[in-house]
């Protein structure tokens, strides 16, 4: 009897695991189709903005509903960390939301899965959009989403601290960057630069500056090319030989620690994006916001530079019964006025060129500083697998910064994993 009990217990636990893996059978798909043409239609909109950002978004949606009496918007906040899987599961079962705010790297993946509606017939004024964010919307010869906001890593620096060490402006080259970082470090509690070592994303600027890359349009893997290796070696040397950055391999806390160190003045420079501005400006070092410097990533020996472009775009679910209304909402949310409004309220970066010329953004120093960063920014690979490349990359970069693997070995392992991922 006990044996049976043991087997059954194991079987139950195991099947729970498998049932979770087993995907969702389409049987329980509740169809929302058959919207009445008369009477208002409802557009369900899943957005991944934080609650603080949703306030401004809600204002825009209210305005949209005022102008379009026949459309009701049902906005739902879905936590960013869950949205990718939640949409996938709901959409494959046949009940996705009409409009999804999708991280840029998810779009090609969802498109390949057939979950998105191509927007070629809808999305006309593409010329007004910045190239890098727009690239993420295109895959396999079609357009799948409209870029809503964009971002990229910038070099954030503490102006007073750099000036105190004799650097009047932001470092332009990696050499100057290393010098400034060295001048501002004492190796124990003063750090010239705080490198985030648990996420590969934050090392990408070094990879590009030294001539490396990720995966190109032809699906060629560039992550273990000499330039990429040199970039990671440079970052490693900064930490271990020049001792400008603390060793921090605590994945759960390192992002917070990096920002904290920058905010309280124990680190003079970090890489971070526009999403972090509100948090950083709350720090004691930035009571005077002009003390915060925002500069493009310093250029490498060959004059190259780059920082990963991220952001979010709006896409329509392939099974949506109200596609026209859904696109109306998307067009409204991505208009230059809406983008400028969101940018001035939330500090996000518009994706339309014309939005940067709007009066409320012309005056905004953060936005114009970040515009310079965006111009030098680079796309991550626009491929269906683009959303998964960090699953193999992060542990390897951790192994490199842990000293377990040489940069070359670690990046070779990443390339190997990516070949499997791409089916090469």
Partner 1 sequence: MATRSNWWIAYLFLAPVIVVMALLVFYPLLQGVIYSFTNMTQYNMGSKFAPASWEFIGLKHYIDLFSSMLQPESVFRDVIIQTLIWTFVNVFFHFTIGLILALLLNRNIRGRGIYRMVLVVPWAVPSFISAFSWTWMYNQSYGVFNILLAKLGFAPIPWLGDSFWAMVSVIIVNIWIGVPFMMITLLGGLQGIPQSLYEAARVDGATPWRQFWTITLPLLKPVAATATVLGVIWTFNMFNIIYLVTRGGPARSTQILVTYAYQEGFMNWNFGLAATYGVVILSFLLAFTLLYQRLLKENSNEGVYY
Where along the sequence are the contacts to partner 1 (CB under 8 A)?
A: 2-3, 6-15, 17-23, 26, 29, 85, 88, 91-94, 112-115, 198, 246-253, 256-257, 260-261, 318-319, 384, 388, 391, 394-396, 398-399, 402, 404, 421
CB of 288 to partner 1, least distance (A): 24
HEC sequence for the chain: CHHHHHHHHHHHHHHHHHHHHCCCCHHHCCCCCCCCCCCCEEEEEEECCCHHHHHHHHHHHHHHHHHCCCEEEEEEECCHHHHHHHHHHHHHCCCCCCEEEEECCHHHHHHHCCCECCCCCCCCCHHHECHHHHHHHEECCEECCEEEEEEECEEEEEHHHHHHCCCCCCCCEHHHHHHHHHHCCCCCCCEEEECCCCCHHHHHHHHHHCCCCCECCCCCECCCCHHHHHHHHHHHHHHHCCCCCCCCCCCCCHHHHHHHHHHCCCEEEEEECHHHHHHHHCCHHHCCHHHEEEECCCECCCCCCCCEEEEEEEEEECCCCCHHHHHHHHHHHCCHHHHHHHHHHHCCEECEHHHHCCHHHHCCHHHHHHHHHHHCCECCCCCHHHHHHHHHHHHHHHHHHCCCCCHHHHHHHHHHHHHHHHCC
* Cβ nearer to partner 1, comparing 174 with 268: 268
CB of 348 to partner 1, least distance (A): 27
CB of 362 to partner 1, least distance (A): 39
Q: How many CB atoms lie within 10 A of CB 89?
A: 13
CB of 250 to partner 1, least distance (A): 4
* Cβ nearer to partner 1, comparing 148 with 385: 385
* Cβ nearer to partner 1, comparing 262 with 332: 262
CB of 395 to partner 1, least distance (A): 5
Strand partners, 215: 221
* Cβ nearer to partner 1, comparing 337 with 394: 394
* Cβ nearer to partner 1, comparing 82 with 375: 82
CB of 320 to partner 1, least distance (A): 12
* Cβ nearer to partner 1, comparing 176 with 394: 394
Distance CA 15, CA 86 (A): 21
* Cβ nearer to partner 1, comparing 35 with 257: 257
Helices 389-401 and 226-240 pack at an angle, to 10 degrees, of 40
CB of 188 to partner 1, least distance (A): 11
Distance CA 312, CA 107 (A): 9
* Cβ nearer to partner 1, comparing 96 with 273: 96
* Cβ nearer to partner 1, comparing 199 with 233: 199
* Cβ nearer to partner 1, comparing 382 with 417: 417
* Cβ nearer to partner 1, comparing 14 with 164: 14
CB of 413 to partner 1, least distance (A): 8
CB of 87 to partner 1, least distance (A): 12
HEC sequence for 282-346: CCHHHCCHHHEEEECCCECCCCCCCCEEEEEEEEEECCCCCHHHHHHHHHHHCCHHHHHHHHHHH
CB of 4 to partner 1, least distance (A): 10
CB of 397 to partner 1, least distance (A): 9
Contact 337, 352 (CB under 8 A): no
């Amino acid at each position: 009897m006990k044996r049976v009990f043991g087997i059954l217990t194991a079987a139950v636990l195991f099947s729970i695991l498998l049932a979770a893996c087993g995907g969702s059978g389409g049987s329980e798909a509740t169809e929302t189709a058959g919207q009445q043409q008369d009477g208002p239609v409802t557009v369900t909109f899943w957005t991944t903005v934080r609650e603080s950002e949703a306030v401004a978004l809600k204002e825009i949606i209210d305005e949209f509903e005022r102008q379009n009496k026949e459309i009701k918007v049902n906005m739902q906040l879905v936590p960013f960390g869950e949205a990718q899987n939640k949409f996938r599961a709901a959409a494959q079962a046949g009940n996705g939301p009409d409009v999804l705010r999708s991280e840029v790297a998810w779009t090609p993946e969802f498109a390949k899965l057939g979950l998105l509606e191509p927007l070629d017939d809808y999305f006309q004024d593409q010329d007004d959009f910045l190239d890098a964010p727009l690239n993420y919307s295109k895959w396999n010869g079609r357009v799948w989403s409209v870029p809503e906001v964009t971002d990229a890593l910038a070099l954030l620096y503490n102006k007073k601290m750099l000036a105190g060490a004799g650097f009047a402006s932001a470092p332009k080259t990696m050499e100057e960057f290393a010098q400034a970082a060295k001048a501002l470090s004492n190796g124990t509690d003063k750090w010239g630069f705080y490198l985030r070592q648990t996420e590969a994303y934050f090392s990408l600027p070094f990879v590009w500056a030294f001539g490396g890359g990720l995966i190109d349009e032809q699906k060629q893997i560039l992550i273990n090319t000499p330039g990429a290796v040199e970039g990671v070696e440079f970052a490693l040397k900064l930490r271990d030989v020049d001792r400008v950055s603390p060793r921090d391999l605590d994945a759960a806390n390192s992002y917070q620690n990096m920002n904290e160190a920058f905010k309280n003045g124990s680190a003079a420079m970090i890489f971070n994006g526009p999403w972090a501005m509100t948090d950083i400006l709350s720090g004691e070092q930035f009571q005077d916001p002009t003390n915060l410097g925002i500069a493009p990533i310093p250029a490498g020996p060959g004059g190259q530079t780059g920082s990963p472009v991220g952001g979010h775009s709006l896409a329509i679910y392939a099974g949506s019964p109200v596609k026209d209304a859904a696109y109306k909402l998307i067009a409204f949310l991505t208009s230059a006025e809406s983008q400028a409004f969101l940018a001035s309220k939330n500090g996000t970066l518009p994706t339309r060129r014309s939005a940067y010329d709007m009066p409320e953004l012309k005056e905004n120093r953060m936005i114009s500083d970040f515009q310079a960063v965006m111009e030098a920014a680079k796309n991550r690979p626009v491929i269906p697998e683009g959303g998964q490349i960090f699953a193999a990359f992060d542990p390897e970069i951790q192994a490199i910064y842990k000293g377990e693997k040489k940069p070359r070995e670690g990046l070779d392992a990443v390339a190997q994993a990516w070949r499997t991922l791409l089916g090469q």
